[in-house]
Structures are given as C-alpha cells and as structure tokens.
Structure 1
Amino acid sequence: MKALNLKPVIVTHSNKLDNAYELVDDFPYEHNGQVRWVPKFFQYDGASIPILAYHIVGTPFNPRYMKAALVHDWLYHTHEIERAAADALFYSMLCESGVGDTKAKLMRFAVELFGKWYWHNDDADQAYKKELKELIRQDGRNPCVYGL
C-alpha cells in the first residue's frame, strides 16, 4: 500500500474540524479489484474518535488509522460506493494497517452506528467539493477521475 504524503493545514475548510491534513499527492486505494483515487488537495481530519474513547481506541491521527480514515472520509463526501461498502472498506483497511481485529471491529461498529449523521453532504460539504473540483481543474486534472 502506498504511503500517504500529507501536510498539516493551518486554516482548514469550514466543513472540517480545527485539525486537518491535506494530501500532497493523489492516494490510490482498491475496491472490488478496481483502483480508485483520493485527489491531491483533499483535507481530512483523521479518524472520528470521541475524546472520551482515546484511551480505548487511540487518537484520530494514529498512523495505523490514517489511510483508512482518509478513504472513508473521501467516500462519505463522494458517495462513489454505498455507505455499507465504505464502512466495510474502512474495516478492511484498518486490518491491513495492523489494527487488531477487536479494535477494528469496534471502530467499524462506531462508523456503522454514527456514520448516518455524516453521510449526508450539507451545504459546507457541497461548497468544499466545489472548491476541490476547481483546485483539481487548476492543477490540470479532471475531477471526474475522482468521482467529483
């Protein structure tokens, strides 16, 4: 699996939390034998872990969670695949990254239980996707390649 090339974001987009990272290079991932891409410029805020669960699960930017959280956040923005498939891919990527089965199952259960509130793209998410499309176009690439 390819390494993530990220940079911290000083001023995050309004649909993000205070702490976020931005992709410096496109990131490939595989789903059902097909390679897909998360585009350069995409910002994400790590794994959505409540502060009270840090002692059980870890922090949002645990290196073992970063790739799975990136792809999961991307799929929740683009809806390229069904939500259940995105949650299953999240679990699979956690396991591939060395997260123990019990912890990975707990994290999958959490996204299955609470993800419904994040699946719907609100106005801030739509504005972010529009801005991201423009950044991709300005970079000489086609947003359709990324499901935008």
Structure 2
Amino acid sequence: MDTLNLRPVLETHSNKLETAYELIEDFPYEHEGKIHWVPKYFQYDGASIPSLAYYLVGTPFSPRYMKAALVHDWLYHTHEIQRESADTLFYRMLCDAGVGSTKASLMKVAVEKFGRWYWHNDADDEAYKAELTDKIINDGREPSVYGL
C-alpha cells in the first residue's frame, strides 16, 4: 500500500516505550474494503517482540513489521474494530509485507495471547489520545476521520 513516513521521537509520550517513531503524514490502510487512516502525529513503539525472541523473529522495527504494528497499535488505542479483527488484520498485513505465514501466525498467536493486557486503555493512553486529538484539531483536521 502506501509509504510509511516516520521520524524518531526524542521524547516519547508516557504511554510509550523509550524508543518510538511518529507519523509525519496520515497513513491509509484497508479493512473490509474500506480505507481507514492512522493520523499524522501518532507515536508507536514498533512490534511488541520480547528481546529474547529477536534472534528468531526480528526486532520491533523490522521493516516488514512496521506497517502492521502501526495499524495494530492504532486499533488497540481506538477500538475502531473488535480486538479479534485487529489481530487478524495484523496477520494479513504481515503476510502482505512478505512475512512468511509461519512467522506471521506465531506473531498473531502472540498478540492474541498477550494483547488483552494492552487492549484496555489506561489513564496514560486516554491522556495520549486527548493530546493527539488536540493536535489533529489544531492541524485543521477532523478527529472523527481517525476514529477519535
């Protein structure tokens, strides 16, 4: 699909890990025949891969994982679709990016098993969404386009 335009973030939001990237333009993705958007300014911390698994799976910012991880993180923030659908879309996007079906299946099983702890937004997540909403409004855009 489209190019993922990111920049590293020197000071990440409190709900992110130490290393994060921020979108510098809206990113489109397709789900069920419809185009959806992740907004400019959204920060994400790559694929959630334990460091012990880097040798087998790769690092969180492996190029083949970046788009799928971005959309998956966005959907876990906004809940625009059900969690199971977000995990399935993650798998499909990994496969579309050239990740082998076995590795993509393992990654999908991992988000299905451990994602429940990240699905529910805590106070830091809600504060981040409010700040992001303000940035979108200040940029002259409508937050509802992004599921906010």
TM tier relative to shorter chain: over 0.9
Cα distance in 1 for partners of 2:91, 2:135 equals: 30
Cα distance in 2 for partners of 1:7, 1:137 equals: 21
Q: How many residues align?
A: 148
Cα distance in 2 for partners of 1:77, 1:37 equals: 13
3-state secondary structure, aligned to 2:132: helix
Q: Which ranges in structure 1 are unaligned for 5 or more consecutive residues?
A: none
TM-score by length of 1: 1.00
Q: Which ranges in structure 2 are unaligned for 5 or more consecutive residues?
A: none
User: 1:46 corresponds to which residue?
Assistant: 46
Cα distance in 2 for partners of 1:120, 1:74 equals: 13
Deviation at 1:142, TM superposition (A): 0.5
User: 1:82 corresponds to which residue?
Assistant: 82
Alignment of 1:76-115 (within 5 A): 76-115=76-115
Aligned-residue identity in percent: 72
Does residue 71 of structure 1 match 2:71? Answer: yes
User: 1:20 corresponds to which residue?
Assistant: 20
3-state secondary structure, aligned to 1:113: helix
Cα distance in 2 for partners of 1:133, 1:111 equals: 26
What is the root-mean-square deviation of aligned Cα atoms in Å?
0.2
TM-score by length of 2: 1.00
Does residue 8 of structure 1 match 2:8? Answer: yes
User: 1:145 corresponds to which residue?
Assistant: 145
3-state secondary structure, aligned to 2:80: coil
Letter in 2 for 1:130: A
Cα distance in 1 for partners of 2:86, 2:35 equals: 14
Cα distance in 2 for partners of 1:144, 1:15 equals: 22
